[in-house]
Amino acid sequence: MKQGSVFKGVEKKTGVKFWDILKLANSVKDVNLRDEENVRDLVRRVGNLTNKPVPKEKEDQIVHTILNDAKSINFNTIGKMLEKN
């Protein structure tokens, strides 16, 4: 699969332009994700980027998972949490 088609697939599935995802990823690459406020900010930014507000309960669940179970999660795990929104 060509790289361009992967990007288009991401855009189609998420509704978010690949460059916006890349900008978000670059903006957090040096952020301490062990800090609760930083994680909450990231969750809110992802919600804004996807036009899906994250309810407080869901935000708390995601933040707790990232801070306490970081070794057992990946982006698919977080995506599944957001889909249940």
Q: For all residues of the chain together, what is the average pLDDT?
A: 83
Task: Give the per-residue pLDDT at 41.
Answer: 95
Return the percent helix, strand and coil in the chain, to nearest 5.
Answer: 75, 0, 25
pLDDT grade for 3, boundaries at 50, 70 and 90: low
pLDDT reading at 85 higher than 60: no
Task: Give the per-residue pLDDT at 59.
Answer: 95
Residue pair 47/58 in contact by the 8 Å Cβ criterion? no
Specify the pTM.
Answer: 0.73
